[in-house]
Chain A
Amino acid sequence: MTTDDITSTGGATSPRPSRALEIVAAAIATAFMATFLVMATQIPLRTEGTGAAMTARTWPTVLGIGGLVVAILLLVIAITRPAPAREDMEAISAGGPLRIAATILLSSAFIALWGVQSIIMAGYKIQLFPIVAALFLFALLWLYGHRGWIGLIAYPVGLTAFIYVLFGIVLRIPL
């Protein structure tokens, strides 16, 4: 996605066609398929020359060749022809990329803290999941523009309790 993608901050509109975007995407696909093809031909085989019609390398190699051909065709088309219309999509809104980046960041932090599982504080073992999950939901609501204090507190606490009961107690998932 580029800033070229953004055409409107008001009503919903379609993003402009972008040749640069198509070229970059096709180039990435070509590089991926080429790398995959090389790796496919180098898959270590435990027993070579057993006479089998297909080895562990065969199918990935076929897919790599097919994928590379398609990706190169896409690249050629992206370079030589006008970019296709993107009227099926909505344009990126102002603040959209920030919302996504912050969501991914918050999710990563949540997963990392949740992975710690529990801490010992003042001689007590405290399970982190309920605290971290409620804080995560609070942060998400804030990020998405919710400002009502009742919602900011009641919703995270209520939903965390529901998740804890459903997954932790009923389904016995070790949260």
Chain B
Amino acid sequence: MSALLDGLGALADVSVILYMLVGLALGFLVGAFPGITATMAVALAAGFTMTLEPVQGLAVLLTIYVAANFGDRVPSILVNTPGTPASVATTFDGYPMAKQGRAGLALTISAIVSAIGILASVALFAALAVPIATLARNYFRSPELFALVVFGIAIMIGISSKSMLKGILAGVFGLILGTVGLYSATNDERFTFGLLDLVDGLDFIAVIIGLFGIAELLDQLLTHRQSTVRPISALGRWLPNRTELKQSGRAVAVSGAVGLGVGLIPAAGGDIAGLIGWDRARSVSKHPEKFGKGSIEGIAASDTASSATLGGSLTTTMALGIPGDSVMAVMIGSMIIWGITPGPTLFTERPDLVVSISGIMIVATLLALALSLVRMKGVVKLLDLPRPYLWSGILIFCVIGTYATSNSISTVVQMLVFGVIGLGLKRLEIPAGPIVLGLILGPLAEENLARTLQILPTQPFFSVVSPIAIVLLVLAVLSIVIPAVRNARKPKEKRGSFADSVLSEETFADIEQAHDELRDEPGMLTSTIPSDEARPARRSRKKKGTEK
């Protein structure tokens, strides 16, 4: 009862609501701009939330996380380009609906089911976070914690990498970055090159903003071309009728269950859940032939599933310390700086945080839903904002935000260096997710491995290394080997990351064919689409990687 009151009490502060409004505006904007991911926005915001109280900071970052999940549907539906990878599957039916003059309806349905998905996932988080954390605290000692870190990094590699070797290289590189600074057991200096700034290790936030913010920005500067695509502006009817709501019920239930399950798998995010949810809903639908042609069930399924991952991601992040997705990896970095270390002991020491986090998520969801329903027309206009404003604004916020974390110019230099490194890695298709995870979790892995090796000679092997640790290590190996074998069995030109191979080639061909047929029909809104935009779903998704 006290935890409940403490948690709610922390939210009963006007400043928290104000910070949530800031997060709401930021999240909606970044979601609505294709190319700016929620990860980038949270990394950027991490810079100026460092000086806030933890609950205030969480209010900003979690609200960005939630609001981006609403904003990213807008360009998916109106310009056939996902605002973030989580809304890839939204394009399948959302864009055809917009072409049919039903964009308003698509946006409303999307907002409603997204809210349902997130609220259901918050309930899951509230129910599971403490039991999972307690279980982990009671049964996870050094060997299990080491195995958990290895599993977390391995699954991130398995899911995000097109080439497993490049993914492993990224993970090892991240772990190497984590060795810079003092070795905690003996205080020996490692790789500091005599620089005082490196004694405490590399600055998390500088590396994260560099890899996710600056690198993304530089890539856009490198590849930008003038686009003639304009959002569909005839939005049509907004509110769904009773039949349409009833129609989406089954899709919401099936895909919601998919999203809740996928969310609990570390590193698997909304993009994967959206695709699986859409596919499952199609398989149980009475009208599967309408999927890909502007089906209300289709858009309800994709958006419920991708939104329902949020609570699961939060659960694994907060209860186990293993980031549920790349946004959560960034958030772990921020929380460590606030003095809160996500992991098994967090909720047993601070159970009030479960209440605060759930409260923030619920209020943020309701605010984002309200904003989605009343301000969609304004958001449509935002899609036309000139890129120079956006790029220059992002750059200066990255610089100042990074500086704000340490009041040191050298941190800004670190960020720029990692931005350039990140661009190189991006062009080589080496994922950034495992690097950040390695950097954050590396010291934890080393510490627990050292403890395990210290105990091991003194006791029988199986009394030190439990079946849990062995299972986690086996799962870690499998999460790299299985995707690698799957990829190796495909023709070279069809190989991709796990997220790329969720739907079969036949399903993509069906969607493409449905979109082609729709384009040829008379009376469709066509002013926005050059012909090569007709096969966007897969390509647009790939363009943005697997970050959320």
A residues at B contact (CB < 8 Å): 1, 5, 10-12, 21-22, 25, 29, 33, 36, 39, 43-47, 50, 52-56, 58-60, 63-64, 66-67, 70-71, 73-74, 77, 82, 84-93, 96-97, 99-100, 103-104, 107-108, 110-111, 114-115, 133, 136-137, 140-141, 144-146, 151, 155, 159, 163, 166-167, 171-175
CB contact list, B166-204 vs A, under 8 A: 166, 168-169, 172-173, 175-176, 179, 183, 185-191
With contacts A52-B454, A163-B396 taken as known, whether A70 is within 8 angstroms of B48 at the C-beta atoms is no
Q: Is B162 an interface residue (CB 8 A)?
A: yes
CB contact list, B392-419 vs A, under 8 A: 392-393, 395-397, 399-400, 403-404, 407, 409, 412-413, 416
Tell me the minimal C-beta distance from A157 to chain B in angstroms: 13
Residues B222 and A89 in contact, CB atoms below 8 Å apart: no
Residues B218 and A136 in contact, CB atoms below 8 Å apart: no
With contacts A54-B449, A141-B388 taken as known, whether A100 is within 8 angstroms of B221 at the C-beta atoms is yes
Other A-B pairs beyond A56-B185, A141-B389, 15, CB < 8 Å: A1-B427, A11-B530, A44-B188, A45-B186, A52-B186, A53-B453, A63-B179, A70-B169, A84-B495, A90-B543, A93-B223, A137-B392, A151-B388, A159-B393, A163-B396
Residues A63 and B172 in contact, CB atoms below 8 Å apart: yes
Residues A146 and B386 in contact, CB atoms below 8 Å apart: yes
Q: Is B507 an interface residue (CB 8 A)?
A: no
Tell me the minimal C-beta distance from A75 to chain B in angstroms: 10
- The interface residues of chain B lying within 8 Å CB-to-CB of A21 are 428
Sample (18) of A-B pairs whose CB atoms are under 8 Å apart: A1-B427, A11-B225, A46-B186, A50-B186, A53-B454, A54-B453, A55-B186, A55-B188, A63-B172, A74-B166, A82-B492, A87-B539, A96-B221, A104-B416, A146-B388, A159-B393, A173-B400, A173-B404
CB contact list, B372-399 vs A, under 8 A: 386-389, 391-393, 395-397, 399
Residues A173 and B407 in contact, CB atoms below 8 Å apart: yes
With contacts A21-B428, A87-B542, A96-B221 taken as known, whether A59 is within 8 angstroms of B179 at the C-beta atoms is yes
Q: Is B165 an interface residue (CB 8 A)?
A: yes
Query: Which of B173, B221, B456 makes the CB contact (< 8 A) with A103?
Result: B221
CA A45 to CA B223, docked complex, whole Å? 47
CB contact list, B208-253 vs A, under 8 A: 218, 221-225
- With both beta carbons as reference points, the residue of chain A lying nearest to B163 in the complex is identified as A84
CB contact list, B413-437 vs A, under 8 A: 413, 416, 420, 423-424, 427-429
With contacts A54-B450, A96-B223 taken as known, whether A103 is within 8 angstroms of B496 at the C-beta atoms is no
Residues B176 and A36 in contact, CB atoms below 8 Å apart: yes
Residues A56 and B186 in contact, CB atoms below 8 Å apart: yes
CB contact list, B29-53 vs A, under 8 A: 48, 51
Q: Is B532 an interface residue (CB 8 A)?
A: yes
- The interface residues of chain A lying within 8 Å CB-to-CB of B446 are 54, 59
- The interface residues of chain B lying within 8 Å CB-to-CB of A145 are 388
Residues B176 and A67 in contact, CB atoms below 8 Å apart: yes
Tell me the minimal C-beta distance from A83 to chain B in angstroms: 10
CA A36 to CA B496, docked complex, whole Å? 30
- The interface residues of chain A lying within 8 Å CB-to-CB of B506 are none
CA A71 to CA B172, docked complex, whole Å? 10
- The interface residues of chain A lying within 8 Å CB-to-CB of B168 are 70
B residues at A contact (CB < 8 Å): 48, 51, 162-163, 165-166, 168-169, 172-173, 175-176, 179, 183, 185-191, 218, 221-225, 386-389, 391-393, 395-397, 399-400, 403-404, 407, 409, 412-413, 416, 420, 423-424, 427-429, 446, 449-450, 453-454, 456-457, 492-493, 495-496, 500, 530, 532, 539, 542-543, 545
- The interface residues of chain A lying within 8 Å CB-to-CB of B543 are 88-90
CA A137 to CA B162, docked complex, whole Å? 37
Query: Which of B187, B222, B450 makes the CB contact (< 8 A) with A97?
Result: B222
- The interface residues of chain B lying within 8 Å CB-to-CB of A133 are 396
Residues A137 and B396 in contact, CB atoms below 8 Å apart: yes
CA A136 to CA B176, docked complex, whole Å? 35
- The interface residues of chain B lying within 8 Å CB-to-CB of A46 are 186-188
Residues B188 and A85 in contact, CB atoms below 8 Å apart: no
- The interface residues of chain B lying within 8 Å CB-to-CB of A103 are 218, 221, 395
- With both beta carbons as reference points, the residue of chain B lying nearest to A45 in the complex is identified as B188
- The interface residues of chain B lying within 8 Å CB-to-CB of A74 are 165-166, 169
Query: Which of A5, A115, A140, A172 makes the CB contact (< 8 A) with B395?
Result: A140
- With both beta carbons as reference points, the residue of chain A lying nearest to B179 in the complex is identified as A60
Residues B169 and A29 in contact, CB atoms below 8 Å apart: yes
- The interface residues of chain B lying within 8 Å CB-to-CB of A88 are 162, 429, 496, 500, 542-543, 545
Residues B388 and A11 in contact, CB atoms below 8 Å apart: no
- The interface residues of chain B lying within 8 Å CB-to-CB of A44 are 188-189
Residues A107 and B416 in contact, CB atoms below 8 Å apart: yes
Tell me the minimal C-beta distance from B24 to chain A in angstroms: 17
6 nearest interchain CB pairs? Answer: A53-B453, A144-B388, A56-B188, A56-B183, A140-B392, A88-B542
- The interface residues of chain B lying within 8 Å CB-to-CB of A64 are 176
CA A88 to CA B407, docked complex, whole Å? 38
